[in-house]
């Protein structure tokens, strides 16, 4: 297995281009299953999760061509040859559950493996299933699979989520586009990835109102047609790289970055003493003073502070002046980076969903292990500011969500290299 070696090297400067969003692309790709005409996505990120979704769609009979070095995905689902999403693929990536709603809506049948547990929490899919039942789906859970049927097609209905779920909102939204009649989704997720999905579905002929608010209303149509759609900017990649100059000093411009994608995160950076400026090409980030101030952070659904930036923020706060309290409200086990940061000299106390971080002067390089995608990149950020070399192992997690991470960081002057495994 490859590892990444990063050595603290002082201030960074230059530009980093931000890719299309992994989590938007992973829901836009299954939308191809809703139509027998081609769907083309531009600004796609080059990631292993995208390759996994490509393999899943291909196993159902969709054709997916990766063009322009992977930045364009040309998809066509003229005929589906299978309606079964196999455990072997689903277990690699939970977002595979997003093929359930589209297959059911288009052909009235789908068999999808249940994803199982995950490093950051139990992550059940009960809300996805309840939403589809509200649209008239008949579900049977057996042999580790959801067997779903809608013999006369899905029918519009009222979906009332007990709390916000990004994936369940996406599945419900896609399914509702072809359901007969009107669907109302209440307590819908408002993430930019949901808005991007709604924009794409509308280009395909769907009738949707209210995306980006708590209530989304969908008027079902008989069929959807082809479209071309650019994937929205990855706000989590953006936020991650905004932390480079925050942690190391210097000034870095994130090309394609927009403040409204990371508003709550920018507010916390501001409190910590980081300046974010809109440049016309993106966002430019630098420290206002030499020191970082401690800040408290609570993760929340959008527009709150994203759980997907909590680990990276912890790496910043590890060397802040004072004590910061981070509360993780979305996933029950998302502090696995804390013990690894502690191996680098960070002072962190974790109790349940709360981590108390007491800033130290400087972190020290150490061998550390990546446990999930965002945890891995937080260790790289910590390594950029640490004294000496940090070796991050199990970097395959990183390949799921950050394209060309070594090249992008080298481009702003970081001392970082990838070392192939034995």
End-to-end CA distance of the chain: 7
> Residue 226 and residue 32: Cα distance in Å, rounded?
8
User: From residue 285 to residue 314, what is the string marking binding to ligand EPU with x (rule CB under 6 A)?
Assistant: ----------------------xx------
User: From residue 175 to residue 214, what is the string marking binding to ligand EPU with x (rule CB under 6 A)?
Assistant: ----------------------------------------
Number of amino acids touching ligand EPU (CB under 6 A) = 23
Active site residue 118: yes
DSSP character at residue 214: S
In the region spanning residues 309 to 368, those forming contacts with ligand EPU, defined by CB under 6 A, are 330-331
Q: Hey, how many other C-beta atoms are within 10 angstroms of the C-beta on 318? A: 29
Cβ burial of 201 (10 Å; 0-12, 13-18, 19+) is: buried
Give, for 411, the enclosing helix (H) or strand (E): none
373: contact with ligand EPU by CB under 6 A = yes
Give, for 76, the enclosing helix (H) or strand (E): strand 72-76
124: contact with ligand EPU by CB under 6 A = yes
> Do the beta carbons of residue 51 and residue 93 sit within 8 Å?
no
125: contact with ligand EPU by CB under 6 A = yes
- Closest approach of ligand EPU to the CB of residue 347, in Å: 25
In the region spanning residues 94 to 113, those forming contacts with ligand EPU, defined by CB under 6 A, are 94-95
- Closest approach of ligand EPU to the CB of residue 48, in Å: 13
Best CA proximity match to 64, nearest among 22, 30, 101, 15: 30
Helix (H, G, I), strand (E, B), or coil: what is residue 78? coil
> Residue 198 and residue 174: Cα distance in Å, rounded?
9
56: contact with ligand EPU by CB under 6 A = no
Stretch that binds ligand EPU, among 61-69, 80-88, 164-172, 380-388 (CB under 6 A): 164-172
Q: Hey, how many other C-beta atoms are within 10 angstroms of the C-beta on 308? A: 24
Stretch that binds ligand EPU, among 4-12, 122-130, 244-252, 319-327 (CB under 6 A): 122-130
Whole-angstrom CA distances from 203 to 42, 207, 310 are 14, 9, 34
Residue closer to ligand EPU (CB basis): 335 or 365? 335
* 277 Cα distance to chain centroid: 24
Residue closer to ligand EPU (CB basis): 196 or 308? 308
User: From residue 236 to residue 265, what is the string marking binding to ligand EPU with x (rule CB under 6 A)?
Assistant: ------------------------------
Q: Could you say which of 41, 166, 194, 341 contacts ligand EPU (CB under 6 A)? A: 166
Helix (H, G, I), strand (E, B), or coil: what is residue 26? helix
Active site residues: 118
Which residues of the shown chain bind ligand EPU in the complex (CB under 6 A)? 23, 26, 94-95, 121-128, 165-168, 307-308, 330-331, 373-374, 401
């Amino acid at each position: 297995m490859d590892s990444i070696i990063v050595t603290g090297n002082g201030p960074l400067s230059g530009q980093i281009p931000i890719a299309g969003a992994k989590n938007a692309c992973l829901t836009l790709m299954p939308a191809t299953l809703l139509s027998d005409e081609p769907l083309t996505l531009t600004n796609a990120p080059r990631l292993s999760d995208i390759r996994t979704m490509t393999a899943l769609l291909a196993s159902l009979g969709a054709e997916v061509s990766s063009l322009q070095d992977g930045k364009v995905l040309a998809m066509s689902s003229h005929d589906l040859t299978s309606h079964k999403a196999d455990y072997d693929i689903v277990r690699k990536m939970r977002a595979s559950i997003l093929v359930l709603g589209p297959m059911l809506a288009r052909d009235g049948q789908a068999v999808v493996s249940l994803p199982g547990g995950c490093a950051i929490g139990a992550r059940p899919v009960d809300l996805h299933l309840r939403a589809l039942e509200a649209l008239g789906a008949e579900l049977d859970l057996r042999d580790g699979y959801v067997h779903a049927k809608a013999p006369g097609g899905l029918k519009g209905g009222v979906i009332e989520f007990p709390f916000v779920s990004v994936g369940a909102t996406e599945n419900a939204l896609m399914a509702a586009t072809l359901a007969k009649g009107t669907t109302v989704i209440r307590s819908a997720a408002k993430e930019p990835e949901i808005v991007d999905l709604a924009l794409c579905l509308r280009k395909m002929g769907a009738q949707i109102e209210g995306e980006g608010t708590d209530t989304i209303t969908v008027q079902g149509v008989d069929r959807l047609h082809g479209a071309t759609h650019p994937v929205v900017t990855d706000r989590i990649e953006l936020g991650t790289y905004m932390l480079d100059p925050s942690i190391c000093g210097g000034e870095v411009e994130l090309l394609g970055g927009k403040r409204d994608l990371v508003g709550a995160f920018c507010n916390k950076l501001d409190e910590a003493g980081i300046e974010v400026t809109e440049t016309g090409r993106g966002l430019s980030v630098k420290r206002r003073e030499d020191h970082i101030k401690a800040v408290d952070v609570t993760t929340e659904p959008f527009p709150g502070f994203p759980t997907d930036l909590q680990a990276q923020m912890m790496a910043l706060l590890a060397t802040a002046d004072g004590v910061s309290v981070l509360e993780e409200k979305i996933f029950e086990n998302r502090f696995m980076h804390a013990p690894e940061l502690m191996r680098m000299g960070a002072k962190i106390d974790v109790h349940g969903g709360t981590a108390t971080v007491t800033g130290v002067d400087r972190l020290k390089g150490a061998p550390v292990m990546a446990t999930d995608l965002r945890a891995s990149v937080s260790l790289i950020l910590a390594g950029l500011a640490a004294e000496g070399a940090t070796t991050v192992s199990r970097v395959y997690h990183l390949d799921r969500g950050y394209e060309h991470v070594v090249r992008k960081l080298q481009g702003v002057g970081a001392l970082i290299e990838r070392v192939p495994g034995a």
